[in-house]
A and B are shown apart, each in its own frame.
Chain A
Amino acid sequence: MKYYNTLIFELSKKDRIGYNIEERKLPEVAIPTHLLRNTKADLPEVSELDVVRHFTNVSQKNFGVENGFYPLGSCTMKYNPKINDELATLPGFANIHPLQPAQTIQGLLKIYYELQHMLSEISGLKAYSLNPFAGAHGELAGLMIIKAYHEKNRDFKRDKIIIPDSAHGTNPASATVCGFETIEIKSNPDGTVNLEALKAVLSDETAGLMLTNPNTAGVFEKDITEIARLVHEAGGLLYYDGANLNALVGKAKPGDMGFDITHINLHKTFSTPHGGGGPGSGPVGVCEKLVEFLPNPVVRKNDQGYYMDQAKDSIGALGLFYGNASVYLRAYVYILTFGQEHLSDIGPMAVLNANYIKDSLKDLFELPIDGHCLHEFVFDGLKDQSTGVKTLDLAKRLLDYGFHAPTVYFPLIFTQSMMIEPTEVESKETLDQFIAVMRKIVKESLETPDLVKTAPHNTIVRRLDEAKAARQPIVKFKDIK
C-alpha cells in the first residue's frame, strides 16, 4: 500500500476536461432563470488520465480480499469470483430498463424466479422476495411481515419483539424502525438463548423473536426446536437473521428448525462483492402462511411465461424497483458454479477452517466457549493479561503483518471480543501463516508490549484521532480550512 495524499479537487485546473460528448445541433431550451441554480456545482476539472491515476492511487490505500486473509467475523469475506462479475454485467442484463414489459424481460424474470427457488431449497422457507437491498433491509421486510400478519389476525396488542443481547445492532434498530418495542433478554454465557429468560418475557404481546443461528459467537442454538415451540405457542413468529448461514450450507435448514421468516445476505453466504460497504442484497423468505405478505412485486409463472404480480396482502413497496438486480445475478451464477454436487461442501469446509484456527491458538487466548465451534468463534482477549495488551492492539498489530483484522468488540457479551471467521475459501497454508503470525504477536505482547500497544507501524497511516473527527466534523472539501 502506498500513502497517497491528494484529493481529486486538489488536482482540478480550470478548463481541463475529462469528457467526450457530442453537442447536437438542436435548439437551446429557455427555462426561466428563477427555476435554475445560481452557481455551478464546483466539481473537478481534470483530464481522464488524472481521474484514472487518482483512483488507482486511492485504491492502493485499501486492503481487499485479493490482497490477503480477511477473517472478519460475521461478514463472510469469501472470494468474489470474476465470472460472476462478467456474466452479471452482460449487455442483455445491464441495458434493460426496469419498466420494460414482461415479454421483453423473460430472461431476467426467469433468473429472479429460479433464484427464489434455489434460496427456498437451501433455507427451507417456502417463498422469497429478492427486493430488499441489504441484510438490514431484509430484517425490516421480515418485521413488517410479522406486523402485517398480526394486524390481519386483528391481534393488535402484539407490539414487542424479543432479541437476545448477543444480537447484531441492526436487529433492535430494525425493530424500532418497524414500530416495535424491543425486549432484550440476557443470553447464556455461550451466547445462546436462556430458556428461562425467554419464558419470562413471552406473552400475548409478543409479536416475535429474532435469532441468528449459529449465534454471533458461532454457537448453534441446540434448543432451537423448543424455542420455536415456545414462541409459536405464545402466538409469536420466529425470525432468522441469515448473517451466519454459511455455517449451515449443506448441513441444516432454518426452515426445518421452525423459523417462519428469514433474510439471507447474498454478499456474505453467496459471494457477491462487499463493495466497501455495499451494494448488498438481503432477500426475505417466508413460510407457507406468510407468502401473500411478501413485498411487491413478486415474480410468478404461468403458461405464458414469467410475470410480475402483487402478493395479496403485501406489506407494500420497499424500493423503486426490484432490489439490487446486478447483485443477485452474481449470486445466481455462484450457486450454479457449485450446483447440487458441491454447494453442500461449503458449510463443512468453513467450519473445519474455523475449528482449526481455534484449536491451534486456544492455548494463548481466552476461549469463552468450549467445544467445537461452527463457522466462526470468539476469543476474549489474551490468556496472559499481565502486560495490558487489549484486543484492539492485537487487531492493529495484525495489520502490520499484512492481514486484515478480525471483527473486534462484537458480540457485546464479551468485553475483549475478537471474532474470527475464515470462510471455506482459505487453504490450510493461509491459515497456518495466520496462526504463526498470531503466535508471534502474542509473544510480542508479552515481551515488547509497547510495540503492540502502539501498532500499527507498517501501514500508510497509523492510529487515527477519532475524537477530533467527531468534535470538529470536516465532512467535505470546503470544510477544510
Chain B
Amino acid sequence: MNVKEGLLYSESHEWVKVEGKNAWIGISDHAQHALGSVVFIELPKIGALFKKGDAMGAVESVKAASDVYTPVSGKILDVNKALEGSPEMLNDDPYGAWIVKLELSNEAELKTLLNAKDYQPLCEE
C-alpha cells in the first residue's frame, strides 16, 4: 500500500494535509483498496462543525459502506463536489482526491495524528 510522505494520518485511515490554519482531508490508499470500487460519496454541508472523530460523511462501494471520520475538529470550508460525479477518483488518486477542506479549531490535535512512518504498520494488518 502506498503511504504518502508529508501527510498526517488517523487510525481510521484518513489523511490530513495542513496548510496554515486549514486542513485538507481525504482517505488513504489502504482505505480505497479495502473499499473496492467506490460508487458514491456523501459529503458534509459547507459550514458544518465537527469534532475530532465525528463521522462527517460516508463512502459506498458495491459491497460496503463506510463512514469517513474527521481526524481533527473544525468547520467545513469546502467540499470536493467533483467526487459526486466521479467517486472513482478516490480509487484512482486517493491522495489527490481531497474530500473536505476545513478550518482547524484546535491545532493541538495535530500532534495526536500519525506521520507516514508510524502509519505504515497500520496498513499491514
Q: CA A263 – CA B58 in complex, angstroms?
A: 33
- List, in ascending order, chain B residues with CB within 8 A of A467's CB: 36-37, 39, 61-62, 88
Determine if B119 is an interface residue (Cβ-Cβ < 8 Å): no
- List, in ascending order, chain A residues with CB within 8 A of B40's CB: 470-471
Determine if A303 is an interface residue (Cβ-Cβ < 8 Å): no
Binding site for A on B (CB under 8 A): 36-37, 39-40, 60-62, 87-88
Binding site for B on A (CB under 8 A): 466-467, 470-471
Q: CA A458 – CA B97 in complex, angstroms?
A: 40
Q: Which residue of B lies closest to A473 (CB)?
A: B39
- List, in ascending order, chain B residues with CB within 8 A of A470's CB: 39-40, 60, 62
- List, in ascending order, chain B residues with CB within 8 A of A471's CB: 39-40, 87-88
Further pairs besides A470-B62, A471-B88: 13, Cβ < 8 Å: A466-B62, A467-B36, A467-B37, A467-B39, A467-B61, A467-B62, A467-B88, A470-B39, A470-B40, A470-B60, A471-B39, A471-B40, A471-B87
- List, in ascending order, chain A residues with CB within 8 A of B62's CB: 466-467, 470
List 15 interface pairs A-B (beta carbons < 8 Å), by A numbering.
A466-B62, A467-B36, A467-B37, A467-B39, A467-B61, A467-B62, A467-B88, A470-B39, A470-B40, A470-B60, A470-B62, A471-B39, A471-B40, A471-B87, A471-B88
Q: Which residue of B lies closest to A409 (CB)?
A: B63
Q: CA A87 – CA B60 in complex, angstroms?
A: 46
Closest CB in chain B relative to A324 CB, distance in Å: 30
Q: CA A467 – CA B88 in complex, angstroms?
A: 10
Closest 4 A/B residue pairs (Cβ): A470-B39, A467-B37, A466-B62, A471-B39
Closest CB in chain B relative to A94 CB, distance in Å: 41
Closest CB in chain A relative to B66 CB, distance in Å: 14
* Residue of B60, B61, B62 with most chain A CB atoms under a 10 A cut-off: B62
Q: CA A470 – CA B62 in complex, angstroms?
A: 7
Q: Which residue of A lies closest to B86 (CB)?
A: A471
Q: Which residue of A lies closest to B85 (CB)?
A: A471
Q: Which residue of A lies closest to B87 (CB)?
A: A471
Q: CA A472 – CA B6 in complex, angstroms?
A: 36
Q: CA A471 – CA B61 in complex, angstroms?
A: 9
- List, in ascending order, chain B residues with CB within 8 A of A466's CB: 62
Q: CA A15 – CA B37 in complex, angstroms?
A: 46
- List, in ascending order, chain A residues with CB within 8 A of B36's CB: 467
Q: CA A442 – CA B101 in complex, angstroms?
A: 50
Closest CB in chain A relative to B62 CB, distance in Å: 4
Q: CA A470 – CA B61 in complex, angstroms?
A: 8
Q: CA A467 – CA B39 in complex, angstroms?
A: 6
Q: CA A467 – CA B40 in complex, angstroms?
A: 10
Q: Which residue of B lies closest to A466 (CB)?
A: B62
- List, in ascending order, chain A residues with CB within 8 A of B60's CB: 470
Q: Which residue of A lies closest to B91 (CB)?
A: A467
